[in-house]
A and B are shown apart, each in its own frame.
Chain A
């Protein structure tokens, strides 16, 4: 039976123009989405390079100024921007802390449109002043991006539904099922073979069109073999899940119309409702503290700190006797007080800020536990991870930047409190930021998805075996 199904399924699909239609759709969808993704990645890279170039140019100016000052020449810059002052370097010559895109970044926009990819932490200002939200029109954020992940998670299941909702019912409705059922075969196996073949051909089309598009946009899938294979594995197991659902619906439901409605209902549940409900529940169980109230707290704290600046500085110097010893002038100005106060503010605010991080972490854990209710969530998350644009990646970046900001500040503290000038020879010692990628996506979800799909197929088989045959021939 299989060989004949193979031969004629392809013929039927070609003659009904399904294969042609699907190839064109897949090429268009993959092409447009990958093009969009690459454009975003290109812009991201350009922005980061431009920012780094700018820093380089500024550094050249700074070094020239330092050279002039050290040479005893008069300079025309505003006095507080002259880089002999360590605070001037810390504030006006910040480094770029950038998050370079990963090689697969184009497959999923994820949170990339929401968060910025580089910041320049300064010595003054606190960590909450580091705004990690990107300047984007909220309308764009609302609508989201037409990326490969969207095509895979949202549209591919719909293509599968359109492709397979009536495999059995169409035969029943046209009447050819009676003739088929009079042959010495099991209808369940026949449906399974038909769907299996459709799955096979669709997989071929997906792999083929993805490869074509990859080459067309100038990416070589073979240089990124593991990433590319992982992507394919994920897509194909996700497809298998939807084919398994189509198998169940074909056997259990009845007319083409009912099948279509049932499958669409499942699509709405898995792709639209389950994620939003899970998100909603996560927010309800682990609500974020109010940012507006956090602002109030921060303001109160700062007001208090400003009043007690002198006292704070004294305490700070008592805790750091090394600063009191090395300096002969013992000059104490605005920045001495300011930096000491900032440090205190940061310490005091830490629990409040941590609460946000903590709640976010809890929400994430919660989702991690329940994401299995919908393969759409699993696939979206895995694609985001593969692209390095998941919430965790940005969280990771945020943490690294906050760490770097602290290093940057710490680097200038001895200069400040020792009242030591910044000089040309100190330049090479400035801290530099290097973003460390989280270990890239694991493909552990693929076997799990595969198991879910196989379990669904098994369920279809065992349940339909026990049900009466009449159900298959006459639609209920």
Chain B
């Protein structure tokens, strides 16, 4: 579903992304780990077509992102790190608007159905977004993805700033989407959550993918060790 070939992005002398080779298949959750500036967000921006690659190419559902900016977006849903919706519209209205401009006409019952599926409590459906917490906004974001029937989900630090309970709920939602066959790419700092929800884990540094792991094969502490090794941290000797 998501494929990148030699995807490279340079800003002048600086290389933000260096020949990235990545594939996320249907029903996989691929977690990208890495420090700030490792190239995670650049990867997502390239997949969204927000920026042009210096070389290489990205594919969503076999379509080249740069050549088909509009078509590829039909298949994907995106939740930015800080999901901002229209504060003066309610959850239902926001969902209706965003799916509407994407070309999906939905009935009121459908809209509410998606919000419920995304785990938003019923009494919040008609409330304005300005009163929502980040976790609640993210649920609306998931509902947008559900409503769109997205094949690909791009997440940028979705759990940062969420409390553990909300974070856990979010993980369960992703699992649910996975069983529906959605391919998810999630950039995160959260090793624990990556191990919990991810099927695959990639560790990035300085714009290149240094290590790829299968989540099932390793324990959390092995993952942590692998991460720190990649970051070239020496274990403190006491």
Contact = CB atoms under 8 A, between A and B. Distances in A.
- Is there direct touching of A and B in the complex, by C-beta distance under 8 Å? yes
Interface string A167-193: 000000011101111111110001000
Contact of A179 (B74, B80, B93, B96): B80
B38 to A, nearest CB: 19
B112 to A, nearest CB: 18
B77 A182 contact: yes
Contacts of B77: 182
Interface stretch (B47-55, B166-174, B180-188, B198-206): B47-55
Nearest to A181: B50
Given A4-B97, A4-B101, A182 B89 contact: no
B101 A1 contact: yes
**Of A7, A178, A190, A473, most B-chain CB atoms within 10 Å:** A178
B103 interface: yes
A74 B174 CA distance: 117
B86 A182 contact: no
Contacts of A4: 96-97, 100-101
A346 interface: no
B125 interface: no
B35 interface: no
Contact of B89 (A11, A178, A180, A469): A11
Contacts of A190: 101
B83 A179 contact: yes
A425 interface: no
Q: A interface, by DSSP: helix, strand, loop or mixed?
A: helix
B74 A8 contact: no
Contacts of B93: 8, 11
Contacts of A176: 84-86
Contact of B88 (A7, A15, A180, A182): A15
A186 B101 contact: no
Q: How large is the interface on B (under 10, 10 to 19, 20 to 34, 35 or more residues)?
A: 20 to 34
B49 A175 contact: no
B78 A185 contact: no
Interface string B54-79: 00000000000000011111101111
A290 interface: no
A237 B85 CA distance: 34
A468 B70 CA distance: 15
Nearest to B148: A183
B102 interface: yes
A186 B50 CA distance: 12
Interface string A452-476: 0000000000000000111001000
Nearest to A183: B102
A184 B72 CA distance: 8
Contacts of B72: 184
Contacts of B103: 1, 184
Interface of A: 1, 3-5, 7-8, 11-12, 15-16, 174-176, 178-186, 190, 468-470, 473
Interface of B: 48-52, 69-74, 76-80, 82-86, 88-89, 93, 96-98, 100-103, 141, 144, 154
Given A469-B50, A469-B51, 19 more contacts: A1-B100, A1-B101, A4-B96, A8-B86, A8-B96, A11-B93, A176-B84, A179-B78, A179-B85, A179-B144, A180-B98, A180-B101, A181-B50, A182-B78, A183-B101, A184-B71, A185-B73, A190-B101, A469-B49
10 contacts: A1-B100, A7-B100, A12-B89, A178-B50, A180-B101, A181-B48, A181-B50, A190-B101, A469-B51, A470-B52
